Chains A and B, each alone.
Chain A
């Protein structure tokens, strides 16, 4: 497939070992991203965070149904398909989160009365699923050439019973945690675009998690840049 780029990047906030389980404190799992792997959609991307993997296809700007068209901007639609079973209410809720995040960055005013459809398929879920979906959606939108005013990334962090912060948790860590917070941050000023949380936590802990997520997002954006640089430097 022309233009496939497999960019591996081991990103750690502090020095750690090359492979295997990460050390204590803040560090993200192994990232991998592939773009332009599907032939039908205008843009596609597959994003892997550790064992969590999401495949996204973007169609657009394309024709929109008259009932759904907006006269001065593009209509964004997001479809999230779980790995097993039919999409339910939880998927609808996640679709709304992803859609509103994309709407905040996509320059819809450049393509009025069109539709941009983002279709996400969960390939495997090993923790931090929503963050992986957001990252994959961003990469796919870039691959499709949809004009955006910033990139965005998703970061999940968990708070343990004693207040320890773990970034990019595995499924097991998410289950054992007292609180799981997922943030979407933009690339320009690391402002908070989207947030969804589970569990009880205090205000101070929220600010701590947000700061940690903002630091981690820098790594994610650097990974995006390296991945795209490698892709376009070939041609």
Chain B
């Protein structure tokens, strides 16, 4: 009977749960789904991470290649993110050029990398004006069940922490790059941005970590990206119902606690990794 009601009146069905301050999957309004992370699973990539936020699954692979640094910044390398939402993850995506959601997610990740200064681009430079690293970060969603931005940010962070770059020296005589695959260094990750997403219901209620259905029923979404010092890298609210300053304040405090949870998980995973 409940299944029938859910199909016919999904919003009313949902409101019944919200009135009791819980959600159909049993979570509290401020509770995240079980987060799991697996690092270094792709051996052909220089760094990789698989993040599961409930059912939402995102895998990030980082490949490092050589490139000439940009002419207006000869001592900087590149970090190029790309989020792919293939038809595999959800029936709403078709094959072909990236849809709007994938492009927006790619732009969001690029902004997070830029704003949070997670990697100093100068660290990626090998020889100013001649050679620099370019890190291609490919994020592929394997299962779309809402809250894609949080999963992508976490996957990116975990993958970048896993990246090992070989030492490169430029041979003076031949002017060619010599790669020493035996000596590998981890990247210098300066900050740890963590994203927390909220969905706004009926213009008033804020719920954390929305699932696919909740996102569909919501009247607005909000994503906050915070680093460890409590500084905000990104406040992404793409339209939707209005929020007051006080509600934003509540979201901030939730984002701070989420950051601690994620950081703890990350540290555990990194510690448990056996050195190569």
Instruction: Give the interface of A toward B (CB within 8 A).
Output: 89-90, 92-93, 95-104, 181, 184-186, 189, 191-203, 206-207, 210-211
Does B196 have its Cβ within 8 Å of any Cβ on chain A? no
Does B275 have its Cβ within 8 Å of any Cβ on chain A? no
- Given A89-B106, A93-B103, A93-B107, A202:B239 Cβ within 8 A: no
Q: Is the CB of A92 within 8 A of B107?
A: yes
Chain B CB count within 10 A is highest, among A97, A195, A206, for A195
Q: In the bound complex, how far is the Cα of B230 from the Cα of A156, in angstroms?
A: 22
Q: Is the CB of B249 within 8 A of A193?
A: no
Chain A residue nearest to B108 (CB atoms) is: A93
CB distance from A136 to the nearest CB of B (A): 16
Q: In the bound complex, how far is the Cα of B203 from the Cα of A189, in angstroms?
A: 13
Specify which of B106, B115, B244 is in contact with A198 (CB 8 Å cutoff): B115
Does B233 have its Cβ within 8 Å of any Cβ on chain A? yes
Q: In the bound complex, how far is the Cα of B114 from the Cα of A95, in angstroms?
A: 21
Q: Is the CB of A191 within 8 A of B242?
A: yes
Number of B residues, CB within 8 Å of A:
33
Q: Is the CB of A194 within 8 A of B248?
A: no
Does B47 have its Cβ within 8 Å of any Cβ on chain A? no
Q: In the bound complex, how far is the Cα of B269 from the Cα of A222, in angstroms?
A: 55
- Say whether chain B's binding surface is mostly helix, strand, loop, or mixed: mixed
Q: Is the CB of A195 within 8 A of B237?
A: yes
Q: Inside 8 A of A191's CB, which chain B residues have their CB?
A: 241-244
- Given A200-B231, A210-B245, A96:B117 Cβ within 8 A: no
Q: In the bound complex, how far is the Cα of B249 from the Cα of A192, in angstroms?
A: 13
Q: In the bound complex, how far is the Cα of B220 from the Cα of A193, in angstroms?
A: 9
Q: In the bound complex, how far is the Cα of B234 from the Cα of A198, in angstroms?
A: 6
Q: Is the CB of B238 within 8 A of A96?
A: yes
Q: Is the CB of A200 within 8 A of B117?
A: yes
Q: Is the CB of A100 within 8 A of B239?
A: yes
Q: In the bound complex, how far is the Cα of B243 from the Cα of A194, in angstroms?
A: 9
Q: Is the CB of B104 within 8 A of A96?
A: yes
Instruction: Give the interface of B toward A (CB within 8 A).
Output: 100, 103-104, 106-108, 111, 114-117, 219-220, 227, 230-245, 248-249, 252
Q: Is the CB of A203 within 8 A of B108?
A: no
Q: Is the CB of A100 within 8 A of B240?
A: yes
Chain B residue nearest to A90 (CB atoms) is: B107
Q: Inside 8 A of B219's CB, which chain A residues have their CB?
A: 104
Q: Inside 8 A of A189's CB, which chain B residues have their CB?
A: 242, 244
CB distance from B199 to the nearest CB of A (A): 13
Q: Inside 8 A of A201's CB, which chain B residues have their CB?
A: 231-232
Q: Inside 8 A of A99's CB, which chain B residues have their CB?
A: 239
Chain A residue nearest to B246 (CB atoms) is: A207
- Given A198-B115, A200-B231, A207-B249, A92:B236 Cβ within 8 A: no
Q: Inside 8 A of B103's CB, which chain A residues have their CB?
A: 89, 92-93
Q: In the bound complex, how far is the Cα of B232 from the Cα of A103, in angstroms?
A: 27
Q: Is the CB of A186 within 8 A of B242?
A: yes
Specify which of A98, A103, A202 is in contact with B230 (CB 8 Å cutoff): A202
Enumerate 22 A-B pairs (CB-CB under 8 Å) in ascending A order. Answer: A92-B107, A93-B103, A93-B108, A96-B100, A96-B104, A100-B238, A101-B239, A104-B220, A184-B239, A192-B242, A192-B245, A192-B248, A193-B239, A196-B237, A198-B114, A200-B233, A201-B231, A202-B231, A203-B232, A203-B249, A206-B248, A207-B248
CB distance from B179 to the nearest CB of A (A): 32
Q: Inside 8 A of A202's CB, which chain B residues have their CB?
A: 230-232
Q: Is the CB of A207 within 8 A of B106?
A: no
User: Which 10 residue pairs of A and B lie closest in terms of their CB atoms, listed nearest first?
Assistant: A100-B239, A191-B242, A93-B107, A101-B239, A92-B103, A195-B237, A100-B238, A89-B103, A192-B243, A194-B239
CB distance from A65 to the nearest CB of B (A): 15
CB distance from B168 to the nearest CB of A (A): 30
Q: Is the CB of B236 within 8 A of A193?
A: no
Q: Inside 8 A of B116's CB, which chain A residues have their CB?
A: 200
Chain B residue nearest to A76 (CB atoms) is: B239
